[in-house]
Amino acid sequence: MKERYKIIRCGRLYDGVSAEWKPGQSILVDGGRIAVVGTQVPEPENALEIDLRDCQVTPGMIDAHMHMDYIDWRTVREEVYTTSEEAKTLAIARCARKALARGFTTVRHVGGITSNGYGVLDVKEAVERGYLPGARIVAAPVFLCTAGSHGDLSQGFARNPQLSGMLQRQRPGLGSGRD
């Protein structure tokens, strides 16, 4: 059962409001939201206590520009065509988990290489329901861009009509790992 209340004991706290680090602070979390911060906070019965007295604590950070479905930035144009939607969704889940572990409590996915954008929406919902650990996701599922711009990933396709027709007929089998 998930505890409603958590008390986080901080060694030093940077609250993002003052320029000073504050020693001996505690944070009362009620239902996933910060309720009270200070040296004296209410201590509800059955609250989960998290001891971070050996640590410096900061507010969660926000990354306002992420492409969560990129597995490897160096090969992103190839990934568009060679990586399954399921693998891209797993990459999104991994990215959300790693972002949270690095102190980012909210991330903004600004579009990516999935063909339909549902992967990021599925991971967003899984994180919200508590099925997966991860940062809160604000999502724009697919790129919004003009033809020929940096976000137009179709630039790698051949413009030869005969070749394009052949690729369209063969695409279900090409690169899918079939024998």
pTM exceeds 0.85, yes or no: no
Residue 123 pLDDT: 95
| pLDDT single digits (tens) 5-41 | 999 999 999 988 889 999 999 999 998 889 999 999 9
Q: Which domains does the chain have, with CATH numbers?
A: 5-57 (2.30.40.10), 61-170 (3.30.110.90)
Q: How confident is the model at residue 178 (pLDDT cuts 50, 70, 90)?
A: very low
Return the percentage of the chain with pLDDT > 70, whole number. Answer: 78
Rounded to whole angstroms, the Cα distance separating 3 from 179 reads: 51
The answer to whether residues 11 and 52 touch, using CB atoms and an 8 Å cutoff, is yes
| pLDDT single digits (tens) 94-139 | 999 999 999 999 999 988 777 677 899 999 999 999 999 999 999 9
Q: How far is CA 76 from the centre of its chain?
A: 18
